[in-house]
């Protein structure tokens, strides 16, 4: 069955609908991901909430979907757009094909789309709202602003692991790999809702806190910045992706939206401390404005090699450390997993150790 992806700027891209639409129209911000692999993790990453994901690699689904590599309990994307979807998964762990998995969750899959032309349009004009429909003449309607963090965050605290080091993980839409990385390093981790007040955190008596990744504009969380500032000033802190942006905002810095964001498993980042380039996995639209950090007590440690954007900051006097990329992700190399070791050094030694 033919279907169409209409962009807000008037452009339309035709394709074949591999699964029925749950409604007549599916709306979402159209973004693209450049990795050859990792589609299962992308589909279940809460940071993709309310987005229509376009995969740039021409064949997606060739190793299927397994039952272990989910980043959350369900997929969060609005729809999936590919050039070709593999009909089955050629891997010993595969339990479902890409199409079968998406059908289970009523997520439309649009194939045989000219994804090269579509991605060029997004790169040139920027990410924008799109509408997936069977109507070739549909127009994109203005959508109400949404607050996706509240949709993906846990509703009550959950505890994992049993180590002596107790970490509180603020859930703005956390990836399971962050939790697994901390538990694997001997931590007890308490995952708490994004809006948990400081008094509740004090009662938990954590050794340190982690601010997770998550979807949407960080400024939607402006009312929580005073509480975030209070907590990160009190406990050793590691902040990832959206959490990184919230740390900067809580100290008076500013954020801005990139034209088409960073989404892929091959993003080069320069580490000014180690004087080396790391290959990172990323998924974000917003970044911290470099010039806005001038009047804050933060130094820029990590910088994106491609566009010079801020990829991580370190407080000069307090154990607060944040990264824009995903240190828990293994896009092939595991260049950035040492970030958790650095953080736990700070937590366990009670001193500033970034080496």
Does 41 have pLDDT greater than 90? yes
Res. 138: pLDDT tops 90: no
* Structure confidence at residue 178 (pLDDT): 97
- Cβ neighbours around 129 below 10 Å, total: 18
- pLDDT for the residue 331: 76
Task: Give the pLDDT confidence score for residue 351 in this predicted structure.
Answer: 59
pLDDT of residue 355: 47
The rounded distance, in Å, linking the Cα atoms of 98 and 109 is: 9
What lies within 8 Å, CB to CB, of 316 at 6+ separation is 297, 298, 299
pLDDT over 70 for what percent of the chain?
Answer: 98
Q: Which of 214, 199, 263, 237 is nearest to 39 (CA)?
A: 263
Q: Which CATH number fits domain 148-349: 3.40.430.10, 3.40.50.880, 3.40.50.300, 1.10.3720.10?
A: 3.40.50.880
State residue 117's pLDDT score: 98
Q: Could you check whether 2-133 and 148-349 share the same CATH topology?
A: no
In whole numbers, what is the pLDDT of the chain averaged over residues? 94
Q: Note the pLDDT of residue 222.
A: 98
CA–CA dist 7, 1 (Å, integer): 20
Query: Is 343 in contact with 186 (CB distance < 8 Å)?
Result: no
HSE of 59, CA atoms in CB hemisphere, 13 A: 8
Domain boundaries, the chain: 2-133, 148-349
Say if residue 353's pLDDT is above 60. no
pLDDT in tens, 157-175: 999 999 999 999 999 999 9
Q: Over 60: is that where the pLDDT of 193 sits?
A: yes
What class, spelled out in words, does domain 2-133 have in CATH?
Answer: alpha beta
The residues with which 108 forms a beta bridge, in sequence order, are none
What's the pLDDT tens digit per position in 338-347?
999 999 999 9
φ/ψ of residue 172, rounded to 5: -95, 5
DSSP string, 291-336: GGGTTSSEEEEEEETTT--EEEEEESSSSEEEESS-TT--SSS-TT
Residues assigned a catalytic role: 241, 326, 328
| H or E segment to which residue 204 belongs | helix 198-204
The pLDDT value recorded for residue 354 is 52
pTM, two decimal places:
0.95
CA-CA distance, 241 to 213, in Å (whole number)?
5
């Amino acid at each position: 069955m033919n279907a169409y992806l209409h962009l807000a700027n008037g452009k339309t891209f035709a394709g074949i609908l591999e699964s029925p639409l749950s409604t007549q129209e599916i709306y979402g911000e159209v973004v693209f991901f450049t990795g050859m692999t990792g589609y299962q993790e992308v589909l279940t990453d809460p940071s993709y909430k309310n987005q229509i994901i376009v995969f740039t690699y021409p064949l997606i689904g060739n190793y299927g979907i397994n039952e272990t590599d989910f980043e959350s309990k369900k997929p969060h994307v609005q729809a999936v757009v590919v050039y070709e979807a593999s009909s089955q998964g050629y891997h010993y762990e595969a339990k479902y094909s890409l199409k079968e998995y998406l059908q289970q969750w009523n997520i439309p899959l649009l194939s045989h789309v000219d994804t090269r032309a579509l991605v060029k349009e997004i790169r040139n004009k920027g990410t924008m709202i799109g509408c997936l429909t069977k109507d070739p003449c549909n127009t994109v309607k203005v959508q109400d602003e949404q607050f996706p963090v509240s949709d993906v965050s846990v509703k009550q605290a959950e505890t994992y692991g049993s180590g002596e080091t107790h970490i509180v993980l603020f859930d703005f839409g956390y990836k399971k790999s962050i939790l697994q990385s901390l538990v694997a390093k001997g931590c007890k981790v308490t995952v708490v809702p994004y809006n948990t007040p400081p008094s509740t955190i004090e009662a938990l008596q954590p050794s340190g806190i982690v601010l997770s990744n998550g979807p949407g504009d960080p400024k939607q969380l402006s009312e929580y910045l005073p509480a975030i500032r209070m907590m990160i000033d009190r406990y050793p802190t590691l902040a990832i992706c959206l959490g990184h942006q919230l740390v900067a905002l809580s100290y008076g810095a500013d954020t801005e939206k990139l034209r088409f964001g960073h989404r892929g498993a091959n993003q080069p980042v320069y580490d000014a401390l180690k004087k080396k380039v790391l290959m990172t996995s990323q998924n974000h639209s917003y970044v911290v404005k470099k010039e806005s950090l001038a009047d804050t007590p933060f130094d820029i440690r990590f910088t994106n090699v491609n566009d010079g954007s801020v990829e991580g900051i370190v407080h000069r006097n307090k154990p607060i450390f944040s990264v824009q990329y995903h240190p828990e992700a293994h896009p092939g190399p595991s260049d950035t997993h040492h970030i958790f070791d650095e953080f736990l050094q700070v937590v366990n030694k009670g001193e500033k150790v970034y080496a």
